[in-house]
Amino acid sequence: MKIHDFKDLPLVQKIHQTQHTGVFLTVTRVSDYVIKLYALGKFYVEIWYDVEKNEMDVMAFDNTEWLAAYIPDIDFSA
């Protein structure tokens, strides 16, 4: 799947696709959000969970510079 095809999916399908075919990389917390990072082919997906509102959103990106913030949290030993 290419990133533009992924971005065209409805939210529920984005979450399903990410959790079932993506490779989980790490999880972090920012303010009221829990953010899970996945690799999905040649792009990356963040699943944002708003703890206060009990809502989810998905952000997909292929810019590897955006991964810099995650590097300290990713376990590369596997």
**Domain ranges, residue 28:** 3-72
Residue 45 counted as domain residue: yes
In a domain, 66, yes or no: yes
In a domain, 11, yes or no: yes
The CATH number of whichever domain residue 11 belongs to comes to 3.30.67
pLDDT value of residue 56? 96
Tell me whether residue 78 is in a domain.
no
Is 47 among the domain residues? Answer: yes
Counted domains in the chain = 1
Tell me the mean pLDDT in the region 6-22: 97
pLDDT of res. 69: 79
- How do residues 26-44 score in pLDDT, each as one tens digit? 899 989 999 999 999 999 9
Query: pLDDT, tens digit, for every residue of 57-69?
Result: 999 999 888 888 7
77 falls within a domain: no
Q: Are 46 and 37 in contact (CB under 8 A)?
A: yes
Contacts 24+ apart (CB under 8 A), 64-73: 70/25, 70/26, 70/28, 70/37, 73/26, 73/27, 73/28
